[in-house]
Amino acid sequence: MIGKDVARIDALEKATGEAKFTVDLKLPGMLHGKILRSSYAHAKIVSLDVSKAAKLPGVRAVITGRDVPQYRFGIVLRDRPVLAVDRVRFVGEPVAAVAADSLEIAEEAVGLIEVQYEELPAILDAEQALDATPPTVIHPEFADYEGAVTRSPDAPPNVHSTFRIRKGNVEKGFEEADIIVENKFRTARVQHCALEPHAALATVRHDGSLTIWTSSQGPHHCRYQLSRFLGIPLTKVRVIVPYVGGGFGSKIAPNVEFMAALLAIRTRRPVKIVFTREEVFLDGTVRMPVVVYIKDGVKKSGEIVAREMKVILDGGAYGAISSLLTYVPSHGAVGTYQIPNFSWDSYGVYTNLPPAGTFRGVANPTVEWAIECQMDIIAERLGIDPVTLREKHLLKEGEPNIVGEITRSIGAKECLVEVAKTIGLNKRHEEDSEVWKKGKGIALGNMYSTAAGMVASAEVVVQPDSTVEILSSAVEMGQGCQTVLSQIAACEFGLPLEKVRIVAPDTALTPFNYPTASSHTTYMVGKALRLACQDAKQQLFRLAAARLGVSPDRMEMKEGIVYVKDAPERSVCISELFASVATGIYLPGEVEIRGKGIVVPIMAPVDSNGLIPPEVAAKGGRRVTHRTHVAHAVEVAVNVLTGEVKILRFVGAYDIRPVNPKLSEGQMEGGAAMGISTTILEEMNFDGGILLNPN
């Protein structure tokens, strides 16, 4: 079962249209919500008049920032209000929300709300945000914010978070170098463009408890934030996540859920809000643009003796999510190459542009792209083969990386050599035409999975017919996690896949889990699920052993039958462990067979230089649980007159051992297609903070 190309368990539902997403859901008496958004990048709200909207027939509620709890939300740094109160900080920021009998009425009501603004200077460039004396301070009340503030005391006022690494002596390394190679790289702001937009449907019971269906990647995180925001116990908030039509990091933090909940509480009726595609672009979290400065000191032999990196991450108007990303991309920067002297400074900055955050790789791919460009530039300057240059600096098994983490299970070299060979990197191109010129390129990278706080848990319940029910809050959003988890459970119990059932994420039923992000589900939730399966099996073994008069350690099971390992003819069916009465089936001596598993990653502390102390590293201390290395190669043709790019060939090599190869292949191909598209086809363009291409 493990390592097999098992068909997706949700394939038929999705192919036939039976699969339900939040956008498909309806409840009796349901109202439709719509949000009024700021038309200014940075402004004070002078006046806000909702009277005309409130009087429109069919309008059931209109709320503004003055009507709701003054709560700021965020995963790490809590700096964002649900609705703007005195100030707006980006075009598209929610200012008011309406609930009405129809979407058309709600849209008309939003158009009747009158807002007067006093425009303020705007910061629209990440590098300008680093000014010590900027034209405006976007968050003058920053000192009052709650959460994990990681800003150095001397940081400029529009910086919300900083991180540094210091290894060796970079300045001395530069002095010893034969050449200095210094470059600046930029990446664009892009939208994830998941098929399903952000959506939420909220309803309130007579006792004030809230149930919300949402397209969130993190049901328990959403529940926690809603509980804090509304000031009600966690037990009165239930979050249910049906199938999600793609996430890629854009649906980790709650957003639309707050407004749906507020309107449902105000009207005492179900309220559904679905973002338009334009709203997704404006307020659905976008990929964080980065500016990466790299200065390398290099010997004529190609040895990089010193590297200095300065990374500016444009988090947009709020650091609610983006403050986390100031630290995270350093994982990628230190996970592939060994450089004796290394300096890293990263700055998460505020700008008056749409909030940015996680996007398929958590800012690692963009920083590693800059590093790979730099490696090619060095190779060209010195006339060295780009593969040879990379091989010269690759980390080796058992070797500490830049921050002191012991390298293990690294297949980077094999991946690199394979793609270079397959693409024919050093073979001459076919004859170019005058217009179309061909070229080949390679890149090497690594992606971490699982850091501190990424707690994973799972439960399994064994039913009388030997069906195993998985309870997990891992969100199925197209990546196939339900299939992979079902494979793991089927393998552990020795059951066919059709005897495994998985319960959709529901905070009233499924246990806590970190949001489905950072590619941690198979590794962490899968591990928790294995523990849960083993727990349940031990319970079964104890019951069966008592029935057969042997010790539990002699028991094994397969296909719903528990048997004695050294005497397999002595066995009992799972169904025989249960008893029947007139009213149903129960388990004598036990309430149920329920296995539980939890995995809590403990990450190594780092010192003031961002390094793991040697004595901690020697005991296995790590900043991340593991890394996956990958190499890509492409052959392209470029039209030198129009700039058009054709991808002629793409080759990828991945250092993995998948549970389901076909699903992993789909993830690789999807990731490659997304990477190609965001590199050469996509960019959000702004003029004065106004998005010019919001679709």
Q: In Å, how far are 312, 358, 400, 446 from 326, measured between CA atoms?
A: 8, 11, 23, 18
449-457: average pLDDT: 81
pLDDT above 80 for 695: yes
Please give the DSSP secondary-structure letter assigned to residue 394. Answer: B
637-643: average pLDDT: 95
CATH number of the domain bearing residue 117: 3.90.1170.50
Which amino acid, residue 665?
A: E
Question: Per the domain annotation, does 217 fall within a domain?
Answer: yes
Which of these, 191, 123, 183, 189, lies nearest to 159 by C-alpha position? 123
Q: 476 CB contacts (<8 Å, ≥6 apart)?
A: 10, 243, 244, 482, 504
Same domain, 15 and 83: yes
Please give the DSSP secondary-structure letter assigned to residue 434. Answer: S
| Separation CA 73–CA 382 (nearest Å) | 50
Same domain, 251 and 315: no
Q: What is the pLDDT of residue 46?
A: 98
CATH number of the domain bearing residue 554: 3.30.365.10
Categorize the per-residue pLDDT at 450 as very low, low, confident or very high, splitting at 50, 70 and 90: low
For 30, the domain range is: 11-121+193-283
Domain stop point among 599, 619, 647: 599
Q: What's the structural domain count of the chain? A: 3
Give 261-315 pLDDT, tens digit per residue: 999 999 999 999 999 999 999 999 999 999 999 999 999 999 999 999 999 999 9
304-332: average pLDDT: 93
Question: Per the domain annotation, does 235 fall within a domain?
Answer: yes
Question: Per the domain annotation, does 221 fall within a domain?
Answer: yes
H/E stretch holding 230 reads helix 219-230
Give 18-54 pLDDT, tens digit per residue: 999 999 999 999 999 999 999 999 999 999 999 999 9
Which of these, 191, 249, 222, 260, lies nearest to 23 by C-alpha position? 260
Backbone angles phi, psi at 381, to 5 degrees: -60, -40
pLDDT above 90 for 451: no
* Residue with tokens 């292949």, as numbered in its chain: 665
pLDDT above 80 for 452: no
pLDDT above 90 for 530: yes
**Residue 626 near residue 450, CB atoms below 8 Å:** yes
Q: Which two tokens stand for residue 562?
A: 């528990």
Same domain, 401 and 430: yes
| Separation CA 624–CA 362 (nearest Å) | 14
Same domain, 37 and 112: yes
Question: Per the domain annotation, does 135 fall within a domain?
Answer: no
Strand order in the sheet with 179-186: 159-167, 341-349, 304-314, 290-298, 179-186
241 burial level (CB within 10 Å; 0-12, 13-18, 19+): buried
Same domain, 97 and 231: yes
H/E stretch holding 41 reads none
46 burial level (CB within 10 Å; 0-12, 13-18, 19+): exposed
Domain stop point among 283, 312, 336: 283
Q: In Å, how far are 179, 579, 586 from 509, measured between CA atoms?
A: 61, 25, 20
Question: Per the domain annotation, does 413 fall within a domain?
Answer: yes
Which amino acid, residue 123?
A: I
Which of these, 554, 544, 531, lies nearest to 590 by C-alpha position? 544
Q: 590 CB contacts (<8 Å, ≥6 apart)?
A: 539, 543
Backbone angles phi, psi at 228, to 5 degrees: -65, -45
Give 167-214 pLDDT, tens digit per residue: 999 999 999 999 999 999 999 999 999 999 999 999 999 999 999 999
H/E stretch holding 78 reads strand 77-78
Question: Per the domain annotation, does 675 fall within a domain?
Answer: no
Same domain, 362 and 311: yes
Question: Per the domain annotation, does 318 fall within a domain?
Answer: yes
Which of these, 43, 81, 46, lies nearest to 63 by C-alpha position? 81
Categorize the per-residue pLDDT at 325 as very low, low, confident or very high, splitting at 50, 70 and 90: confident
Q: What is the pLDDT of residue 528?
A: 98
Give 66-124 pLDDT, tens digit per residue: 999 989 999 889 999 999 999 999 999 999 999 999 999 999 999 999 999 999 999 99
* Residue with tokens 């240059």, as numbered in its chain: 389
Question: Per the domain annotation, does 424 fall within a domain?
Answer: yes
Residue 146 bridge partners (DSSP): 78
Same domain, 415 and 430: yes
153 burial level (CB within 10 Å; 0-12, 13-18, 19+): exposed
Which amino acid, residue 397?
A: E
Maximum alpha-carbon separation in the chain: 88
Q: What 3-state class would DSSP assign to 625?
A: coil
Same domain, 99 and 183: no
Same domain, 374 and 429: yes
Same domain, 613 and 631: yes
| Separation CA 503–CA 508 (nearest Å) | 11
Question: Percent of the chain scored above 70 by pLDDT?
Answer: 100
Q: Around Cβ 403, how many Cβ atoms within 10 Å?
A: 24
| Separation CA 51–CA 43 (nearest Å) | 22
Domain stop point among 580, 599, 618: 599
Same domain, 501 and 433: no
**Residue 136 near residue 53, CB atoms below 8 Å:** no
**Residue 478 near residue 419, CB atoms below 8 Å:** no
Lowest-confidence region among 365-369, 479-483, 586-590, 653-657: 586-590
Give 134-150 pLDDT, tens digit per residue: 999 999 999 999 987 78
Categorize the per-residue pLDDT at 324 as very low, low, confident or very high, splitting at 50, 70 and 90: confident
Same domain, 566 and 591: yes
